[in-house]
Amino acid sequence: MVKFNTPAGSEDIVFIFLDRIHSCQTAWTAELMKNLSDFVLGKIIDSGFNVIQGLDEDEMLREAAKDYTHAVVLSTGTEFINGDEFFNEVELAVYGADNFFLMGHIPDRDDGYYELHDQCYIINLDTYTELGCPFVGEFAYYSEHNQIEPARSNINIHDDYTPLWVLPGTTERKYKHKWHGWNIISVALSNNKIITVFPSTFRNNKVYYYPNYEPSFIPKSSYLYGKYSVASQTLFYPYNTEEFVAIDFQGPVQQLVIQASGLQWYEYLLYYGYDENTTVKFVDYNLFALECMFRITLDWDGKQNYIEFVQDYVNSRKEFLSSGGDHMITMTGSEQTVDARMWTDMISKVKFEFHHQDLVLNTALPVHTWVDNAPSTIIHLSHIFNYDPVAPFVPLKHRIYNERVLLDKLKKHVPDATLIMVGNVSDKLQRPTWHTNGDWNGI
């Protein structure tokens, strides 16, 4: 069992990260899920939550109950999407009026007792302690037993095994199999504790890849490949997904190096100053993002509705790029306000450069090709080494190594530059259990 603590971690909510890599059916599935889980672990910590991680679900629940009121339990193979939406929903549920004991996916398994799907669920640890810390109950084929059959809704969320609600029943039935969570569900219902099914607000903000079942994993993993392909070729972020980072810097800015997304570059120049000697260098591995930023700095006047301008340009490129249109722009992030007068002045003075480079994977790339050794330089690397479309395909060990290589090159080439990074991967060197086989040696 490993604990990952952040200084600003929630005092009430902890995430329990269950290592199920051993159940992956192929080596490639295991590798992909390890990489993904490294990213998910970092995302949870960056979102302000402590994590208990390990192989024994019951042991981790008992440990969590000592210090927290609620736990979000997830297994390797689960990914949270749409920014912080899932984490926001967790807090709304925990601090809301509903005093539930369990919230998750509760499939009706017919001749196997009801399941608490281990991809993700939320548990009230105070109630768990009150019930004597019951064991969850592992999956077991051909394990006949008698249980009181739960009552359930006739309507399903999908198919015929996902009820909208589950309540205590009255009739005993013989079951052939035990599915994950069979015991804790039974204990909850026999004690009239509330079990709640995940609403769409939870379901729509996470993905589960079913790494222990190849027929489901293969089509599900296509989402990862598609996300990587779109993000590297035809996706533009009109808003920045990270917050503005205030730094100790004396302006005006002479050189700003930043990714081709949003208008945060405008905010940095506005905040720290600019003049006729200022150059903004957009560096990105996505050529379409650079193209969109080029069009914004060339044609947008600061008066027309920004997102309408961007959408009109993206629409004009749909026919040529044939990428489906809707996947060419994402509204994730915070809207930025622009003063039209300041925009006009800035555009008239500042010089812009556009560099199509992969700073994450191309470790042989000389840094002088995209940044000058100039005074008053800000280099904003955002979260390029912690970017979710890339992380599943680049092991954390390689991302850490490549990050160190790049930072060392920058230190030597631009020693006086002010560097901004969001979610530095080197900060997360504690080893989760899926890396206990020696694959982290040398980090």
Of 49, 51, 43, 44, which Cα lies nearest the Cα of 17? 51
User: Rounded to the nearest 5°, which phi and psi values hold at 101?
Assistant: -95, -50
CATH 3.90.550 matches 2-212: yes
129 DSSP assignment: H
Q: How far is CA 261 from CA 36, 293, 407, in A?
A: 24, 7, 22
Instruction: Round to whole Å and give the CA distance between 98 and 124.
Output: 11
What local confidence, expressed as pLDDT, does residue 122 receive?
97
Amino acid at 280: V
Instruction: Round to whole Å and give the CA distance between 443 and 426.
Output: 9
What pairing do the DSSP bridges indicate for beta strands 120-124 and 50-54?
Answer: unpaired
Residues in the chain with pLDDT values less than 70 = 321-334, 423-429, 438, 441-443
What is the 3-state secondary structure of 27-78?
HHHHHHHHHHHHHHHHHHHHCCCEEEEECCHHHHHHHHCCCCCEEEEEECCE
61-67's contacts with Cβ under 8 Å and 24+ in sequence apart are 61/16, 61/123, 61/125, 61/128, 61/133, 61/136, 62/133, 63/1, 64/14, 64/16, 64/125, 65/125, 65/128, 65/129, 65/133, 67/14
**Beta-bridge mates of residue 418:** 378
pLDDT digits (tens, 9 = 90+) for 298-353: 999 999 999 999 988 888 887 776 554 455 666 665 677 889 999 999 999 999 99
Residue 227 gets the label, from left (phi > 0), alpha (psi -120 to 50) or beta, of alpha
DSSP 227-247: HHHHHHHT-B-SSBSS-----
What is the 3-state secondary structure of 311-331?
HHHHHHHHHHHCCCCHHHECC
pLDDT digits (tens, 9 = 90+) for 120-132: 999 999 999 999 9
Domain boundaries, the chain: 2-212, 237-435
What local confidence, expressed as pLDDT, does residue 321 receive?
64
What local confidence, expressed as pLDDT, does residue 325 receive?
47
pLDDT digits (tens, 9 = 90+) for 190-234: 999 999 999 999 999 999 999 998 889 999 888 888 888 888 888
| Residue 56 CB contacts under 8 Å (≥ 6 apart), including other chains | 1
The two three-digit tokens of residue 178, written as one number: 């035990």
pTM of the model as a whole: 0.86
Instruction: Round to whole Å and give the CA distance between 221 and 402.
Output: 25
Q: How far is CA 219 from CA 34, 48, 224, 391, 393, in A?
A: 18, 32, 10, 19, 17
What local confidence, expressed as pLDDT, does residue 20 receive?
95
